[in-house]
């Protein structure tokens, strides 16, 4: 690096590159068709402004593929119209900003510039370590964040109540009915008197 800075030692931060000039003759390398080839949709003006997912008019892939069930169900959050947005705050930020015994609220997080707005739900995440005893009020807590806060002697306060664990629905299949064994019918043995009469009839 030169010791003295003057007009003769100034250099651009990045190497300058001439902009691509198209349609300026064959000698430029980008003449005649200006690098767009001959005919076709991509040679026309406005062809590079197609919306994402457009496949030239054929059925696009996002319509050809099947969709997962539950996109309009409240249990399928954050999918579909029930999409939720939260602001995440890690426990390492709580350790760095707050002193022991502080009652942490969304308003205090906003004042400390850990979140942008108090209109959006706040969720405490478990990245980092926490050794400070705090009482944290938020809309949501991750499992690891809750364990670290309580391990440090603190307390978690759910602003909308602690969510109930979801119970998985188990479909009970009817037990297969065992086929009853058929009773074997044993033919009655002929009586000896009937056998003798049949033999006499055959001899006669």
CB 134 within 8 A of CB 91: no
Instruction: Answer yes or no: is 45 within a domain.
Output: no
Instruction: Answer yes or no: is 144 within a domain.
Output: yes
Cα four-point dihedral sign 34, 35, 39, 45: negative
Domain with residue 118: its CATH number is: 3.100.10.10
Percent of all residues in the chain with a pLDDT value above 90, rounded to a whole number: 49
Query: pTM of the entire structure?
Result: 0.49
pLDDT tens by residue, 90-112: 999 999 999 999 999 999 999 99
Instruction: Answer yes or no: is 118 within a domain.
Output: yes
pLDDT tens by residue, 25-64: 999 999 999 999 999 988 999 888 989 899 989 999 988 9
State the residue range of the domain holding 95: 86-158
Number of domains in the chain: 1
- Average per-residue pLDDT for the chain: 84
β-pair type (121-125, 86-90):
parallel
For tokens 């980008």, what's the residue? 30
Instruction: Answer yes or no: is 117 within a domain.
Output: yes
pLDDT tens by residue, 66-94: 766 655 555 555 555 666 789 999 999 99
**Does residue 20 have a pLDDT over 70?**
yes
Cβ neighbours for 78, distance < 8 A, ≥ 6 positions apart: 84, 85
Instruction: Answer yes or no: is 96 within a domain.
Output: yes
What are the DSSP E strand ranges found in 86-203?
86-90, 103-104, 121-125, 135-138, 140-141, 155-158
**Does residue 180 have a pLDDT over 70?**
no
Alpha helices in 73-132 (DSSP H): 91-97, 106-111
Instruction: Answer yes or no: is 28 within a domain.
Output: no
pLDDT at 195: 65
CB atoms within 10 A of CB 142: 16
Q: Token pair of 146, please?
A: 């809750």
Torsion of the alpha carbons at 63, 65, 69 and 74, rounded to the nearest 10 = -40
């Amino acid at each position: 690096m030169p010791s003295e800075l003057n007009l003769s030692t100034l250099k651009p931060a990045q190497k300058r590159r001439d902009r691509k000039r198209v349609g300026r003759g064959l000698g430029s390398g980008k003449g005649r068709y200006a690098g767009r080839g001959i005919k076709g949709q991509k040679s026309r003006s406005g062809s590079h402004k197609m919306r994402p997912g457009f496949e030239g008019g054929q059925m696009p892939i996002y319509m050809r593929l099947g969709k997962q069930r539950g996109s309009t169900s409240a249990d399928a959050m954050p999918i579909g119209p029930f999409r939720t947005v939260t602001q995440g705050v890690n426990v390492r930020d709580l350790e760095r900003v707050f002193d022991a015994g502080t009652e942490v609220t969304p308003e205090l997080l906003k004042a400390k510039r850990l979140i942008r707005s108090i209109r959006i739900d706040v969720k405490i995440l478990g990245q980092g370590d926490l050794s400070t005893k705090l009482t944290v009020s938020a809309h949501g807590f991750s499992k690891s964040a809750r364990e670290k806060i309580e391990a440090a002697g603190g307390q978690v306060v759910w602003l909308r109540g602690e969510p109930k664990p979801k119970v998985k629905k188990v479909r009970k299949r009817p037990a297969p009915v065992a086929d009853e064994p058929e009773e074997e019918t044993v033919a009655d043995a002929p009586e000896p008197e009937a056998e003798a009469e049949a033999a006499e009839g055959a001899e006669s």
